[in-house]
Structure 1
Amino acid sequence: MSGPARQPTRAWLITPALTAERFEKAKAAGADVALADLEDSVAPPHKAAARTTAERFLRTKGSGGPVLGLRVNSPVTADGVRDLAAITAYTHQPHLVLVPKVESARDIEIVAGVLDTSEHTPVIYALIETPRAIDRLPAIVTAGRLGGLLFGAADYAALTGCARTWEALLYARSAVANSAGTASVPAIDSPYFDVQDLDGLQQEAERARALGFQGKGAVHPRQVPVITRAFTPSDDEVAAAQAVAAASRETQAAVTTIGGQMVGPPLVAAARAVLDQAASAPPASRS
């Protein structure tokens, strides 16, 4: 079975699994990841119908396009068990599965144990959205099949009673980014829920990238270009990274200087990461 068209970072667009009329628009919005949601956006009486409709979301037309996946219900709930059982019978399997309310490595292992086959192993992301999950992050990231972390600001704020502002959520965001770094997996930031405030979205996306996140959730197609630009290295960033990489190659020394600034192995590694990001991004997405 062929793999995803691109790495699951930058813009993640989430659409309710029941709204089949929006599926093609969601997949054509330019996001790197498009998810059909079986969890929060689907009321309990409609979960069974959503499981049937969600398989249609996973059908592709031609090559290219976003990584397609599903947000399932928690695997330790009855609806989550039903979701996983239904997915095993799908003709088209999700490339990516987002697991909500993760509070242990076992949650990831359960999903992998059900969905992994000799022909297909989905990328599995843990949605970190509870205070207990933040406390247990060092154990969660030991899951062997963990593909990455996604921070869920709305649930975390509701459970702690904190404001849904950057300052109030900075500790939790930092914990997610740090734990993702220890496990060498990507961290994706929470969606920005005011779909009209694109300036606010851009500011929050830039802050998240500076903190170490590699992408951000979107709840509307209009948010996708803003997020994509924020998480794509600019031409200036690429030029600076090329200069660092070139200086490292030319001097073949552990430490060198560029424009009076000392450049050592950590800065060289960071520069190469910027160049890798730029190489995987369409030129039109850079500014």
Structure 2
Amino acid sequence: MAEFLMGPAILFCPADRPERYAKAAQRADAVIIDLEDAVAPENKQAARQALIDTPLDPARTIVRVNPVDTEHFAKDLQALKQSAYRTVMLPKCESEAQPAALAGYQVLALCETAKGITNAGAIARAENVVALMWGAEDLLASLGGTSSRGEDGSYREVARFARSQVLLHAVANSKAAIDSVYLDIPDLEGLGAESRDAKASGFKAKASIHPNQMPVIRQAFMPTEAELDRARRIIEAAESNPGVFAFEGQMVDEPLLRQARATLGK
């Protein structure tokens, strides 16, 4: 089974702005060249040509096509065939059958509608899906809502539920989970807190919309020296304490050992 090896700091870049491609690639771990929401209908053909004419490293590039049920999808697929890109983000993915329209490509299924969230488990089981991502704003729009966040900036309950569903179904099917974008660009503190929560919860990466968000996300996904030190000491203590044992006032058993190994990248 193919794995998602990009990340953790992933940056969207409009496909009709090829002058930004290289700059985005320099700042991000991976770039999403966006043929969908970032491109107006009248600019989509020019965006496809820019995608073909301005290549990036395929190992660090994702192409977001338009949804399969739109008039633009077939044209996007034709452009993809003229490029070296093999990792595709499929927006508004709502069923296990939809990724099959991208046979031969690794698919990041973007679950961002009510149907997509409720079918996340089936979507994650699709053979060519390597990761699931969720989208808050399109989800709320599909529900007839007006905002994904409350006045304090935190997600509304339905958005938190959707986020958890995507994470759980992705991991249950041995796929990566990617956290949604943080739209308040100047609020780097809030971005950092949300990114740290994503890492601690099990997300493998976080998408973003601005280059200034890259260092914050990257730092959030890196364990601190204190976390690394504690994880090492827990693993060392386990060598002489088989089974359950106490460590600095905390009970340690196999789940906590797995967390320590994950911190160390083992």
TM-score normalised by length of structure 1:
0.83
| Alpha-carbon offset, residue 66 of structure 1 | 7.1
Any gaps of 5 or more consecutive residues in structure 1? 117-121, 278-287
Secondary structure of 2:251's aligned partner: strand
What residue number does 1:156 align with?
139
Q: Is the 8 A contact 1:34 1:66 kept in 2?
A: no
Q: Is the 8 A contact 1:58 1:68 kept in 2?
A: no
Q: Once the two structures are superposed, what CA deviation does each residue of 1:258-278 show, in whole Å capped at 9, x if it has no partner?
A: 22322111111111111118x
What residue number does 1:257 align with?
246
| Alpha-carbon offset, residue 123 of structure 1 | 3.1
Alignment partner of 1:237 out of 185, 207, 227: 227
1:58 counterpart = 2:70: no
What residue number does 1:19 align with?
17
Of stretches 193-202 and 157-166 in structure 1, the one that deviates more from structure 2 is 157-166
What are the within-5 Å matches in structure 2 for residues 1-287 of structure 1? Answer: 7-29=5-27, 31-60=28-57, 67-90=60-83, 93-111=84-102, 113=103, 116=104, 122-160=105-143, 161=145, 163-165=147-149, 166-168=154-156, 169-251=159-241, 253-276=242-265
| Alpha-carbon offset, residue 95 of structure 1 | 4.4
Q: Is the 8 A contact 1:36 1:57 kept in 2?
A: no
| Alpha-carbon offset, residue 162 of structure 1 | 5.0
- CA 1:109–1:248 in structure 2 vs 1: closer, same or farther (change >3 Å)? farther
Instruction: Tell me the percent identity.
Output: 36
- CA 1:132–1:230 in structure 2 vs 1: closer, same or farther (change >3 Å)? same
| Alpha-carbon offset, residue 25 of structure 1 | 0.7
Q: Is the 8 A contact 1:67 1:95 kept in 2?
A: no
Any gaps of 5 or more consecutive residues in structure 2? none
Q: Is the 8 A contact 1:16 1:38 kept in 2?
A: yes
Secondary structure of 1:156's aligned partner: helix
TM-score normalised by length of structure 2:
0.89
| Alpha-carbon offset, residue 207 of structure 1 | 2.8
Cα distance in 2 for residues equivalent to 1:89 and 1:163: 39
Cα distance in 2 for residues equivalent to 1:257 and 1:47: 60
Q: Once the two structures are superposed, what CA deviation does each residue of 1:235-261 show, in whole Å capped at 9, x if it has no partner?
A: 11111111222223344x233332232
Q: How many pairs align? A: 258
Amino acid corresponding to residue 246 of structure 2 in structure 1: T
RMSD: 2.2
Cα distance in 1 for residues equivalent to 2:255 and 2:7: 22
- CA 1:143–1:66 in structure 2 vs 1: closer, same or farther (change >3 Å)? closer
Q: Once the two structures are superposed, what CA deviation does each residue of 1:100-130 show, in whole Å capped at 9, x if it has no partner?
A: 010011111221x2xx2xxxxx432111100
Of stretches 124-133 and 65-74 in structure 1, the one that deviates more from structure 2 is 65-74
Q: Once the two structures are superposed, what CA deviation does each residue of 1:42-82 show, in whole Å capped at 9, x if it has no partner?
A: 1112211111101244334xxxx971121111123221121
Amino acid corresponding to residue 76 of structure 2 in structure 1: D
Q: Is the 8 A contact 1:20 1:53 kept in 2?
A: yes
Amino acid corresponding to residue 50 of structure 1 in structure 2: A
Amino acid corresponding to residue 272 of structure 1 in structure 2: R
Secondary structure of 2:46's aligned partner: helix
